[in-house]
Structure formats: C-alpha cells, structure tokens
Amino acid sequence: GAGVSQSPSNKVTEKGKDVELRCDPISGHTALYWYRQSLGQGLEFLIYFQGNSAPDKSGLPSDRFSAERTGGSVSTLTIQRTQQEDSAVYLCASSRNRGAYEQYFGPGTRLTVT
Amino acid sequence: GENVEQHPSTLSVQEGDSAVIKCTYSDSASNYFPWYKQELGKRPQLIIDIRSNVGEKKDQRIAVTLNKTAKHFSLHITETQPEDSAVYFCAASFGGSQGNLIFGKGTKLSVKP
C-alpha cells in the first residue's frame, strides 16, 4: 500500500517568509510525528499527534513553529518568519499507535532558507 | 530528561568483517528498541527491533541484543557488505508503552570493499 508522503520534496525560501510543509500518513495510522534532520545530524523530535488527543509540542524549537493535523489524517508543519538555521530536512513519520510501534518515515522535505 | 546515547559516531570496517553499534538509555521503563538504517539521501527504515521481554533477536546477518539491567542494547552486523554502508539510528521508547521514541545521534557505517 501507499507509504507516508510529503510535499514539497524541496523548498527554497527567503529569510523571513513563512512556509508550510505537508505530510500524508499511512491510512489508519493514529500517530504522526515530525522530525528535523540537519545535514549529517540525527533526528530531532519536533511534535507528535495521537488520534484526537492534544499534540505533544515539547520538541518545537520556538514559537515560530506550529503544526496541525486535520481530521486525524493529513498534517501541516508551519514555520513562520523563517531563519537560515531552519534549513534542514523535515521528516514526517506515522505509526499504528503511539509508543512501542514501528514508525514509517516519509521521504522528507528539504528546506533551504536563503 | 530521557536520553539515548549511541557509539561510535563513525565506524569503518572491511567487507566481510563484523560491525557492532552500542546504545544506552536512561528510562528504566523503556520497553521497545528499534534500529533504523538511513542510506544517503533516503528516509530512515526499520531494520530490526526488540522488545523488553527478550534478550536477543536475529534476522539473517543482523542481530540485536538487549541488557535491561545495564540499560544498553547493541546492533550486530555480520559478514558486512558495501550495501550495509549507511547511517544507523537506535531508539528507545520512553513514557511507557504509550510514550514516544527517543533516537540516538546515529552511527555512520562505511564498509570498504
């Protein structure tokens, strides 16, 4: 079946502009995660959603970052007033449930802030 | 806070040799330990995982061992091949079965032909 998809695959934006990144999880997966991966670095947790529960936003690096998940499916990560240090690959993952379940990753969105 | 430490950060082996990557975790309630492989420019993919009710799991050339007392787990790759070259991430669940995963910082494995 279809895996996790993300769009766009690449995004180049000017410093100070807002960007929206989209994630389509695997159908039926109740948990959805956003991670940030800077060049050659590990996976930095940003936020996760579980069903209709309030999201865990503990990993968001600043109030310029926000995310929502509509109808328990598609999620959008928004970065306002982008800075050069926001340049990274943003990965989305989904899993059947939160916690001790395999996370399936999307291909990522490579964000470049000029 | 909860933490997963992974060592080494880089590892270079000759084709055919074994490779071992080690991780330690801080949450004694952690009960799920997956390993992900990320090839250059691609997404991380699960290669093997282990739950706290077993001490070892094997899948062909890959094995994972878990020592809950010491709070560490390891990935073992035998008879390495050039296509094993990638970044490997360990992870541990925290906050019980309804918690989240914390990832290690990754190990870049290079297998030289």
What is the maximal distance between C-alpha atoms in chain B? 43
Stretch A83-108: mean pLDDT? 91
Amino acid A88: pLDDT: 97
CB pairs under 8 A between A and B: 52
Judged by a CB distance cut-off of 8 A, whether residue B7 touches chain A is no
The reported pLDDT for the residue numbered B98 is 57
Cα distance from B16 to chain A (closest Cα, Å)? 26
Q: What is the pLDDT of residues A62-73, one digit of tens each?
A: 999 999 998 879
Give B99→chain A minimum CA distance, Å. 4
Cα A24 to Cα A20, A68, A94, distances in angstroms? 13, 12, 9
Banded model confidence at residue B3, pLDDT cuts 50, 70, 90? confident
Instruction: Tell me the pLDDT tens digit for each residue of A1-57.
Output: 689 999 999 999 999 999 999 999 999 999 999 999 998 788 999 999 988 888 888
pLDDT of residue B49 exceeding 60, the answer is yes
Task: Check CB contact under 8 Å for A99 and B105.
Answer: no
Q: What is the 3-state secondary structure (H, E, C) of chain B?
A: CCCEEEECCEEEEECCCCEEEEEEECCCCCCEEEEEEECCCCCCEEEEEEECCCCEEEECCEEEEEECCCCEEEEEECCCCHHHCEEEEEEEEECHHHCEEEECCCEEEEEEC
Nearest Cβ partner of A43 from B31, B46, B103?
Answer: B103
Residue B24 above 90 pLDDT?
A: yes
- Helix or strand (DSSP H, E) at A14: none
The stretch B106-111 carries a mean pLDDT of 97
Contacts of A103 in chain B (CB under 8 A): 34, 46, 101
Give me the pLDDT at residue A1, please: 60
Query: Using an 8 Å Cβ cutoff, are A45 and B100 in contact?
Result: yes
Would the CB atoms of A107 and B32 count as touching at under 8 Å?
no
Pairwise CB contact (< 8 Å): A45 & B97: no
pLDDT band at B40 (very low <50, low <70, confident <90, very high): very high
- Residues A76-94: what's their mean pLDDT? 97
Beta carbons of A107 and B43 less than 8 Å apart:
yes
Structure confidence at residue A35 (pLDDT): 95
What is the tens place of the pLDDT at every residue in B54-64? 899 999 999 99
Tell me which residue in A48, A56, A105 faces B44 most closely, judged by beta carbons: A105
pLDDT of residue A71: 81
pLDDT value of position A72: 78
Q: Which of A12, A55, A2 is nearest to A32 (CA)?
A: A55
Using 50, 70 and 90 to split pLDDT, how confident is the model at B20? very high
Q: Which residue of chain B is at minimal alpha-carbon distance from A96? A: B98
What are B75-102's pLDDT values in tens digits? 999 999 999 999 999 999 886 555 688 8
